[in-house]
A and B are shown apart, each in its own frame.
Chain A
Amino acid sequence: MLKKEILLAIEDLTVSFDGFRAVDAVNLYVDKGEVRVIIGPNGAGKTTLLDLICGKTHASSGTIKFKNIELRDLDEHHIVRAGVGRKFQTPSIYEDLTVYQNLEVSFPRGRSAFGSLFFKRTQDVVDRVQEIAAEILLTEQLHQLAGLLSHGQKQWLEIGMLLIQNPELLMLDEPVAGMSVRERQQTAELLKRISANRSVIVIEHDMEFVRAIAHRVTVLHQGRVLMEGSMDAVQADERVIEAYLGH
C-alpha cells in the first residue's frame, strides 16, 4: 500500500482558558482524501479544536501545519484562502439573500473591497453556482430566500457555500444535527461524493452516520485524544465505552 500524504498535521496543540485546558497536547494527522470523524462527550474540546484550526481561537502552544504552512500565524481569511473551509454548528447562512446569492457571495473571486465592487458575474460563476446547487440538492430553491429553507437545507447550503471555494480541507461541525433520517442519508451520500478529492473533518454524535462516512475516528475526552482508529475498534474500546458511548 502506498504511504498516504499528510495534509494536516497538528502537534502538541494546547489552548487554555484561564487555566482550563480545553484542548490539551493534542496530536492529529489527517491524510489527503481522508474523512476523519471526531467524537466525544460534550465539553471534550471538539469544537474548540476546529476553532483552533480555522483561526477563530488562538492556541497557547503547539503547531498546526496545513500543507506545511503554519496556520497559527495566519489571519482567519488567509487560512480560508489557503484551503481550509469551516461549517459552523448552527447553520450559518445569509437569510436575507437568495440561495443563488449565498453561493455567489461565497465564490472565491473578488475578495477585496474593490475586487468585490468590480466583480463580474461571468458564465463560469453562473455555471459553478448551478453545479454546486445541484450537488447540494437545491437547484429548485435557487431563487428562494435562504431564510425560508428547511433546517436540513440550510445545512446543505452552508456546505455548498464552502464547496464553491473548493477547499482542500473541509471541517463540518455536526452537519446532520436536527435532520430527518432521509436527510441524514442524503448528507452521508453528499459527504462521500465531496470527499473524493479532499479531506474532511466531521464532528458528529450520530453513530450510524459516523459509521457510514468515517475512514478513521478520533475520540476526544477532556481535551485529550483518548483513542484513534477504525469505527469498529473505537466502538469496542473499553475506555471509549466508559467515557462516551456507554451512557
Chain B
Amino acid sequence: MPKKLLSHWITAKNRSDLINLALLALLLLVVLPLALDIFRLNLVGKYLTFAFVAVGLVLCWGYGGILSLGQGIFFGLGGYCMAMFLKLEASDPVSTAIQSTPGIPDFMDWNQIKALPWFWEPFHSFSFTLIAVLILPTLFAYLIGVAMFKRRVGGVYFAIITQAIALILTVLIVGQQGLTGGINGITDLKTLLGWDIRTNSARYILYYINAALLLGGIVFSRWLLSSKLGLLLVALRDKEERVRFSGYDVANLKIFTFCVAALFSAVGGAMFTLQVGFMSPSFVGIVPSIEMVIFTAVGGRLSLIGAVYGALLVNFGKSYFSETFADLWLYLMGALFIGVVLFLPNGLAGLFREPRQTWLLIKHTALMLVAKLRPARLRPEGK
C-alpha cells in the first residue's frame, strides 16, 4: 500500500507537490532538529500538533467547503484522552500517599472526590487510551455530522453550531473541576508506561514521532484528495445540488470528511499532551478553534503543506508578539486574518504558486479602498 501511495503521488500531475513535501520533510526531520536547541524544538513540536488540525481543515474546509469553527473540540478530546492515561499513571498510590484518598489524581482529591469516577477507569489501559484517542473524537464528529448534515444544515449555521459546541465543552470541562481538572486542566504528567516524557531524549523521540505522523497524515490526505472523493469534495463546494442529483448522498460525504478532519485533530491533541505535558480547556474553546482556522487560512486552505507552514509561522508570530506586545496580539491576529482573506485568498501557498495574480489582487483592492475612502467631493460626478 505505501508503495502504491507513493507511486500515486509521483504520477500525479503536480510534481511540485512531491518536491514541496520532500522539502518539508527535510525541514522537519533534519534542519530544525539540527538548528534548534531542545527547548525551541519542543516548541516547534507543539506548533506542529496544531498543524494536524490545519491539515484536517484543508480537507474539510478548503476542499469540502465545510467551515468548522470547533476543531478545538476534537483536539481537546484527543488531548484529554491521552492526559487521563498519563495522569492515572502519575497518580499511583505511592506518589499520592499524602492525599486523603491516595491513588486518584490530585485535583480530584482537592475537590473532595473519594473514588475514581467510572469513566476514568478504562484509561488505566494504554491500548484503550490509544483507541479512545482515535475513536472518541471521530465518533463525536460523526454524531455532530449526522445531526447537522442529514438535516442540510451547512455554511455559516454549521460554523456557528460547531463554535457553540466548543464553548459548551469548555464550560463543561471548567465546571466539572473534580472530574476534569477544571480551568487548570490536567497537569503534572510524568511518565508514559514508565518512560519519563520530560527528559530531553524523550522530547526528541516524541518530536520525531509527531513529525512522522504529520507527514504520514499529509500523504494520506494527498491520496484522499486524488481519489474520486477528492473530486467530489471540489464538486460539492461548487455545486452541491448537482452532486446530490447525480445520485450521491451528500450528507454522508460531508460526514466522512468532517470525521477525517476530527481524527487528525485528535491525533494532534494527543501529541500535544505528550510533548507539552498537560492539557487544558484553553485548547478546546472558541479562541483556539478560530486560531486553528487562521493557521489554515494563512498557510493556504487548498494546500496541505501550506497548512503546516501556516501553523508554524502564526505560532512563532504569536509567541514572539505575545511576549513583546501582550495586549496587541489578539488585534494583530485579527488583522492578519482579515489581511489574508482580502489579499491572499489562497494563503501563503497562493503567493508561492501565483505571485503575479496575488500582486494584481493586492493592487486592485488597494486602489478600490483608496477610491472608497476618498472624500465625496473629490469623486467624479454621479458617484
Contact = CB atoms under 8 A, between A and B. Distances in A.
Partners in one complex: yes
Interface of A: 54, 56, 75-77, 80-81, 85-86, 88, 92-97, 101-102, 104-106, 108, 110-114, 116-119, 158, 161-162, 165
Contacts, number: 82
Q: Among A80, A96, A97, A105, find the residue whose CB has the most chain B CB atoms closer than 10 A.
A: A105
Contact of B229 (A76, A77, A117): A117
Q: Among A54, A88, A104, A117, find the residue whose CB has the most chain B CB atoms closer than 10 A.
A: A117
A96 B249 contact: no
B227 interface: yes
Interface string B230-242: 0110110011011
A158 B241 CA distance: 13
Given A105-B235, A113-B256, A94 B229 contact: no
B252 A113 contact: yes
B224 interface: yes
Contacts of B232: 105, 116
Nearest to B224: A117
A92 B229 contact: no
Nearest to B255: A113
A51 B51 CA distance: 43
A92 B249 contact: no
Pairs A-B, 6 closest by C-beta atoms: A113-B256, A80-B247, A119-B228, A116-B229, A116-B228, A94-B235
Given A105-B228, A105-B232, A111 B238 contact: no
Contacts of A110: 228
Nearest to B247: A80
B236 to A, nearest CB: 9
A113 B241 CA distance: 17
A161 B246 contact: yes
B216 to A, nearest CB: 17
Contact of B247 (A81, A92, A118, A158): A81
Nearest to B233: A116
B325 interface: no
7 contacts: A77-B249, A80-B247, A88-B241, A94-B242, A116-B228, A158-B242, A165-B246
A93 B235 CA distance: 8
B320 interface: no
A174 to B, nearest CB: 16
A104 B238 CA distance: 16
A118 B4 CA distance: 13
A108 B248 CA distance: 9
A81 B249 CA distance: 11
Contact of A118 (B227, B250, B255): B227
B247 A77 contact: yes
A213 B23 CA distance: 59
Interface residues of B, number: 25
Given A96-B234, A116-B253, A76 B245 contact: yes
A116 B227 contact: yes
A94 B245 contact: no
Contacts of B247: 77, 80-81, 108, 111, 165
B124 interface: no
A62 B243 CA distance: 27
A97 B238 CA distance: 10
A161 B246 CA distance: 8
A83 to B, nearest CB: 10
Q: Among A77, A80, A113, A158, find the residue whose CB has the most chain B CB atoms closer than 10 A.
A: A113
Contacts of A92: 239, 241-242
Contacts of A118: 227
Nearest to B257: A113
Contacts of A95: 238
A94 B242 CA distance: 8
A113 B245 contact: no
Nearest to A161: B246
A113 B246 contact: no
A244 to B, nearest CB: 28
A80 B231 contact: no
B198 interface: no
B238 A94 contact: yes
Interface string B341-360: 00000000000000000000
B40 interface: no
B229 A88 contact: no
Nearest to B252: A113
A91 to B, nearest CB: 10
A128 B303 CA distance: 32
B298 to A, nearest CB: 22
Contact of B244 (A76, A104, A106, A116): A76
B246 A96 contact: no
A8 B257 CA distance: 37
Contacts of A80: 245-247
Contacts of A161: 242, 246
A111 B248 contact: yes
